[in-house]
Amino acid sequence: MTKANLDKFFNYKTLPLQLEHIQEEYALLFRQGEQEALAFFYIELHPALSLYANSILQNMEMAEEVASDAFIKIWKHHQKLDSYNAVRAYLYKTVYNGAILARQRSIRRKFIESTEHSTDENIDPPIEQLIRTETYRLIHSALKDLAPGSQKVIKMYFLEGKSSGEIARELKLSRSTVNTQKYLGLAALRKKLLNLFLIFLP
C-alpha cells in the first residue's frame, strides 16, 4: 500500500476532529450523569493526573490516590460541567488542591511521629488498639451496604488483588463497567467512613 493510500485510509487530518467530537459527546453524557462517561474520563485522564500529583508529592502511591479522589469529587458536580475542557480543568484543579493538602498532612504526620516515643514499640497503646479494631469493623460493615456489583468489584480489586481486566473477564463485564462500579463503590465507602477518618486525622 502506498503512502497516498495510507493517508486516504487513515485520513489523518480528520483524526483530531473525530477525537474532539468523541470527547465532547462524553462530556455531554457526563453532565447527564452517565456512569460510562465517568469511566471514559477516568481511563483517559487518570494516568496524567497521577503524574501531575506525583510532581508535587514525590510519592506515586499517594499521587494515584489523590487522582482517584478527584473523580469521586467531580462526580458530585457533574451537572455543572458542560464541556470536555471544563471537566479536564476541574480535575486538574482538584488534583492540585488535593496534592497540596496531602503533602501538608504527610509533613505533619512525620513531624508528630518523630516526636513520639514508646517504651515498647511492639505494644500499641489501648486507644490505638481501639481505633484499629473499630476501623476494621466499620469498613466490613460499610462493604455490606454497597450495591452487589460494587461490593463484588471492591472485594476482588482490593482484597483479592485482581486487576480491572481480570475482574472484567471473571464477571463477564466491560472494563469500563468494572472501573465505574469500583469508583462508585469507593465513593460510597468514603462517604460512610468520612466522619471516622476526620476524627483520627492529625
Residue 8 confidence (pLDDT): 44
Residue 90 confidence (pLDDT): 93
In this structure, which long-range contacts are made by residues 92-101, counting pairs with CB atoms below 8 Å and at least 24 apart in sequence?
A: 92/49, 92/52, 94/69, 94/70, 95/49, 95/52, 95/53, 95/66, 95/67, 95/70, 96/52, 96/53, 96/56, 98/53, 98/66, 98/69, 98/70, 99/52, 99/53, 99/56, 99/57, 99/63, 99/66, 100/56
CA 69 to the chain's CA centroid: 5
Helix, coil or strand: residue 2:
coil
Phi, psi at residue 140, to the nearest 5°?
-65, -35
Highest mean pLDDT among 77-91, 123-137, 157-171 belongs to 77-91
Residues 82/31, Cβ–Cβ less than 8 Å: yes
Is the per-residue pLDDT at 102 higher than 60? yes
Each domain of the chain, given as residue ranges in start order, spans: 13-114, 125-202
- Residue 106 and residue 32: Cα distance in Å, rounded? 37
Is 13-114 CATH 1.10.8? no
- Residue 150 and residue 181: Cα distance in Å, rounded? 5
Residues 142/153, Cβ–Cβ less than 8 Å: no
Nearest to 26 by CA among 83, 70, 107, 74: 83
Phi, psi at residue 123, to the nearest 5°?
-120, 120
Residues 99/63, Cβ–Cβ less than 8 Å: yes
Highest mean pLDDT among 15-19, 169-173, 179-183 belongs to 169-173
- Predicted confidence band at 17 (pLDDT cuts at 50, 70, 90)? low
CATH number (1.10.10.10, 3.10.129.10, 1.20.140.10, 3.40.50.10490) of 125-202 reads 1.10.10.10
Residues 178/171, Cβ–Cβ less than 8 Å: yes
37-75 pLDDT, tens digit each? 889 899 989 999 999 999 988 889 889 999 999 999 999
